[in-house]
Amino acid sequence: MTVSTYDGATGKGETKQYSKYYDAGDWIIKGKLGVSVVVDHEKKNIPVLHGLQQAFGALGPGDLEATGKVTIYLWNVSNTKHSIVFRKITSGNYNLELSTSPLIIAPKSRSGTEVGQIPISNYGLEIPITFSFEIDGNPSSLSLKLNRRTFDELKKFFGPEGVPPYPWYANKENGG
């Protein structure tokens, strides 16, 4: 998706190329266990047909809707194993029930699992979610705002020399 802006006062313009990926991450247990949630925007339209529809002004309300494939990654940076049960992801008025069996996250490891799909906006730049879970037997939740990444951000955060924008990487940015 390409978004161009123009500031009439300064005469400056800017164009951003957005990817199909949204993500955000935070601590579940501060300094020990982090979670990142990634949504992969899955388009429902056929590119050539969609272009023709757009050219003729034939796009309808359904063109605003898309589907996002949700993957959850767990980052255990501690020396202790943890057990987590995913319960639910809420985005807007939509609830994705996640009654899964407990996952054991080994010390100093990363694991991920695809958990389902949620409805998203075809032209959105962020997805607010609330992620509900049980960690080591204790119910909890975490609210995140998943940002749609530009191609420049994907290279900066996830490329060969990239440092992901998650708190467990904060020390790596400073040489730690």
> Which pLDDT band holds residue 29 (cuts at 50, 70, 90)?
very high
Q: Domain count for the chain, please give it.
A: 1
**Residue 93 backbone zone (phi > 0: left; psi -120 to 50: alpha; other: beta):** alpha
Q: What is the extent of the structural domain holding 72?
A: 2-173
Q: Which residues pair with 132 in a beta bridge?
A: 88, 141
Handedness of CA 4, 161, 25, 87 (dihedral sign): positive
Q: Specify the pLDDT at position 24.
A: 96
Residue 58 CA to residue 15 CA, distance in Å, equals 26
| Termini Cα distance of the chain | 36
Q: Which residues pair with 91 in a beta bridge?
A: 94
CB atoms within 10 A of CB 82: 19
> Is 29 in contact with 51 (CB distance < 8 Å)?
no
Give the pTM: 0.81
Q: Which residues pair with 5 in a beta bridge?
A: 14
Higher pLDDT, 175 or 31: 31
pLDDT at 5 over 80: no
